[in-house]
Structure formats: structure tokens, C-alpha cells
Structure 1
Amino acid sequence: MRIGAALLRVLGLASIGAWLGYRVCSDHYAPLLADAQQQIGQYQTVNAQMRAVVKQQNAAIDDALKLAKQREQAAEDAQRTALGASQAYQQKAAVILASRPASADECAAASAAFDVELEQEREQK
């Protein structure tokens, strides 16, 4: 009987110790766990907002890249058009430069007269 009573006392003390340990731990860790869960909720909200912002930024970057490609294509088209137009103008200019002006003989005669006059002035000096 003594052993049974001692065993019962030890069991009672152990159960009281376990209950007190549970209370101490739960009183200590319950607020920490609640704070951690609240922070997790906040972090998840912030994470969702950041994902939405990143998604918008990626869409804006894609739009900017598409616009840049369109502008590049338009610039290449304009460059090809300008090159074609300039070639036509260059051909017209070459034709004009290759043709002999109507007053070419008059210019040659004036140049010859100027040369004669210049020689006469040099001889007088």
C-alpha cells in the first residue's frame, strides 16, 4: 500500500508538473506564435502586392520593347525611303553636272580674254 500511495503521489506530482510546464510554455509561446502568424499574414499581403507591381512593370517593359521595335522598323523604312529618294536626286545631279552649259563657249572666251589682259599687265611691270 505504501508503494501504491507513493506511486500515486509521484504520479500526481508528475501530472501537476506537466500541467504547470504546459501552462508556462503556452503562456510564453502563445503570444509569440500569434505575432508570428500575424507577420506571416502581413508578409503574404505585401508579397501579393509586390507580385502585382512586378507584373505591371513587366507588362510596361513588354509594351516599351514592342514600341521600340515598331519605332526601329519605322526608322529603317524611313531610311530606305530617304536612300531611294537621295539616289534619284543624285542621278539628276549627275545628269546636270555632266551636261555642258549653254554658255560654256562664252566662259572660255572670257577666260582667254582675262588671261591675255593679265599677261599684258605683267609685261608692263
Structure 2
Amino acid sequence: MNGIEKSAYSTVHVTPEDGFSYASYEAMGFDPGSVRLEPLVKRVLKCFEPKEFSVAVTCNGGSQLWATEEADVEGYAVENIVKQKLPGGGLLVYKTYSVSSVSTRRSDKECAVRTHVLVLKTQCGVGRTL
């Protein structure tokens, strides 16, 4: 499923499997000054309720706000963080999380898909042609 909002777009992909599923959410072109990473991650997690997930943020020079912003989510613990400088002043940050508290996860069923793994990918910057 794809979505477009002004110069930004996002896509959701779900691969259902018996016993587990894989879901990914990718967003590009959002203004990191007006859309914060943590609330965006929380909205995606609310739907899928994964047991583990990863967040990859790539910033090609300029603003690195999303790459340096914390995306702490209640009920999940950061397992690993990798940061890599990119040519031209860019930055890649990759974080993995796992569920730390089942009691903090919501109980009502707003979405039909439940996953064990969720991958979130974001691209910093506005109006970039990729």
C-alpha cells in the first residue's frame, strides 16, 4: 500500500506467513523539522505490534535530525545501534529493538495484521528526487 502527501511518500508491505509475518514501512521526503521520528514509529508499531523491529534512517547531508533523534518506544528495548557516516556529510543510523514488556502493548484490535518483525526505513529531507 502506498501513500503520498505533498513531496513525501510512504509504503507498507506485509508478507503473511503461518506462525509469523514480515511487515515493512518506508517513508521518504518528510520534513524532519515538522514530522518527528518517534511519533511516526509509534503509529506504525500500534498497528503491527511486532515482537522485534528495526529502524534505519538515512540522511544525505544537510539535516540529520531524524538520524540523531531518539525513537524510544514504551515496551521495547534497544538491542543494537549502528552509525555510519556517508560521503557528502550524510549519516546512516540502524537500530534494532525487541519487546521488553508485554503489558505495555495494546489489547484492542485496530489492525488485522500481527507481526514478529517490522522494518522501518526513513529518508531525511524534503523534495528530493530519488
TM bracket, shorter-chain basis:
under 0.3
TM-score, structure 2 length as denominator?
0.14
Higher relative strand content: 2
Higher relative helix content: 1
Max Rg structure: 1
Structure with greater contact order relative to length (CA < 8 Å, sep ≥ 6): 2
